[in-house]
A and B are shown apart, each in its own frame.
Chain A
């Protein structure tokens, strides 16, 4: 009988902030473990939070074999890869001190705003081992700053965000960038003229949800993807490359999937220079539909490996936003909640928070507006490029620009 073990350890300290003061300190130290056993082409699973013994978990997984779920696929084997991306350790006292320093800055420099929510330091260790000689481990430790910003004179629930994610925190850079942002927040400006404007997104999660459905190998093979039957065709702008990306330095995630599969160089281009090259798949999907296996299995610590969504990232393809804009005023979208893509790729969203942007500096806060487009235009003729985010918001953040219709 072959056995596989997944262990997720999370050690987290979070400082909860209310009205620019520390309200609470939360510590969490949890271990979640999952076990899979394989016999006669079947898989059995079990899992627990806490310190249940291996023997007990294996016994539960063996019992689960009787359910009769087929898994006639080779386990990933004979690889030892231990990667530790931690840069520094922070205890709760140090995090309280960092938070006090940050909140003092906000209180002194920007008394017209209130800041609430959390500043955290999250240490994660994920191990994936099996009886076939596979030993993978990923360790990381990340600062996560998520503060909601409220103008004291405003009757909105909140008016913006201060956010940062990274393995290190440079307080000078953090202060410098957020000074610019908060000054812009207090400077109301008008929308630039024009029906179609250059707009840069800091968060492309809605588009990634849509692309994950379209690039899912099972959807593709079943003809339910808008990309079905377009393999090898140019579907987007020649600059654009979209990768299945397991690189922890760019995605802050493990370098392997839920079947213990790694990618060559931690990346695989699914759309390269605008051409559809591949779709993502797990072992089962690849076998059933005869498509290339790309290591796209996902799941919780105690669940079957499944194909749902993978880590997608656009490759940085452009530099120097100022030069690209060539003097045109642009917009950075900081909050566009609630909009979506329709099944055929039409996109519309209100933009609750947008800033006027000259390619280098954030200048002022815009009134609410709506953007509309189509995916084929956004990533086609209206695509400006994907840039490294020049602002101190995330260690590996991006800005992606398109010309969108503004209403």
Chain B
């Protein structure tokens, strides 16, 4: 397993190099790192910055310079804030990972539960209701759902019951002056996590239902039934374990996309994560944040893919990791 993991990581390196060059080239081609200086009153500013950043060199040369600095931990300086990029992305990533952790955890458990129920009771009233709800969930855009949840779960109860404060908060991850994992944190976290979870459950539940139905239609399940194995045991011991493998793959791949994909949720709830960092950087044309940001997201995709493969092998002994 370890050898396989190391080999996969080694294979990932050339992919990362190619991806990073394409990203570097694409961002350089679409953004002007010197835009802020174009109207400078200092006639030498443009020239100095061009030299400092090596912008007078070819794109491959610029890339090599940047990559050399990147691997040594020098991720550059944001043109927007003047701050170092590494801690900026690190802090945003930490926040997004918190949101992702809770969102993916709840969504996976709920989606799996729905999938098992729907598959076990295919075409029942409950199955139809859950299927319908999942389509509603898929159709609801995050920005709309977020605002509705705020209104229904925070604003309305406060107004309706004359509370001094809303039961759930929705600005940031902590109240002013508060830190750490405590009740205040969870009161802030609840709404963004629900927003995230609803979308994930909607699509994952469809997938888990299908995977469970496939498993339940398998010969080994039919054999188990013929042998008189209890229904519960068939569901959880035989079918679920086989259905889990493809489900985990989907979860891992979707989770990777969440690293950079929570723009709307973070924007609505004023959470300073990766999505919000991306938005502010792209609006400001801050190439020195955008390139490493994209690379971090690309790394996340590779890591989560690897995780999916390893988990698949752990869940299904028939899959040999070589």
* Genuine A/B complex: no
Chain B residues in contact with chain A, CB under 8 A? none
Chain A residues close to B by CB (< 8 Å): none
